């Protein structure tokens, strides 16, 4: 595989090549990294590892999320939906969402945000991600679960995952 490259063949045009090989930062929530930025928004990715759990929590700004490969579970306010490769969804400002991956393979998602970007955004994103990784490790040491293995047997995520296996 070739590493991801961003080409700018003309003013106003950017092409991201081999985005599956984009650089990223590993965190307890998954692997994150920038893909492509524009003046009024951009796209980053997250790879959700098998066994991952992230409780739903509010997000300041809306997102559009496309699942490139794999399966995972979207959770919001007590409801859960299996999301598959090719699925695309949106959540609005302040809406709590989380994810779970009870499956054996990772899921790769593209996350589109309409937040203005400035030159150097990718470098600053890596710095924010490294800081986030340390914060999540601290939260995990204090008892916040980030994997199915850390959840009690009767947690709703585990109950939902067992129901999927029976279906």
**CA-based nearest residue to 160, from 116, 105, 91, 103:** 103
On whether residue 1 sits in a domain, the answer given is no
Tens digit of each residue's pLDDT (9 = 90 or more) over 57-99? 999 899 999 999 999 999 999 999 999 999 999 999 999 999 9
Q: Is residue 78 one of the residues assigned to a domain?
A: yes
- Residue 88 belongs to domain with CATH number: 2.60.120.10
Show the tokens assigned to 145. 């679960």
Q: Using 50, 70 and 90 to split pLDDT, how confident is the model at 11?
A: confident
pTM higher than the cut 0.85: yes
CA distance 163 to 167: 6
Q: How many domains does the chain have?
A: 1
Strand order in the sheet with 53-58: 53-58, 96-100, 71-76, 79-84
Range of the domain at 36: 24-121+141-166
Tens of pLDDT, residues 113-162: 988 887 777 888 899 999 999 999 999 999 999 999 999 999 999 999 99
Residue 16 located in a structural domain: no
Residue 14 within a domain: no
Alpha-carbon gap, residue 115 to 118, rounded angstroms: 10
Residue 12 lies inside a defined structural domain of this protein:
no
């Amino acid at each position: 595989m070739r590493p991801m490259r961003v080409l700018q063949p003309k003013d106003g045009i950017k092409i991201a090549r081999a985005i599956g090989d984009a650089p990223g930062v590993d965190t307890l929530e998954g692997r994150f990294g920038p893909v492509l930025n524009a003046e009024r928004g951009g796209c980053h990715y997250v790879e959700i590892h098998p066994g991952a759990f992230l409780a739903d929590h509010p997000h300041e700004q809306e997102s559009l999320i496309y699942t490139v490969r794999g399966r995972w579970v979207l959770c919001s306010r007590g409801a859960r939906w299996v999301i598959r490769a090719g699925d695309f969804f949106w959540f609005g400002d302040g809406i709590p969402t989380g994810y779970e991956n009870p499956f054996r393979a990772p899921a790769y998602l593209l996350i589109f945000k309409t937040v203005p970007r400035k030159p150097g955004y990718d470098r600053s994103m890596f710095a924010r991600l490294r800081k986030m990784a340390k914060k999540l490790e601290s939260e995990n040491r204090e008892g916040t679960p980030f994997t199915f293995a850390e959840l009690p047997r009767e947690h709703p995520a585990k109950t939902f995952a067992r129901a999927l296996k029976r279906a």
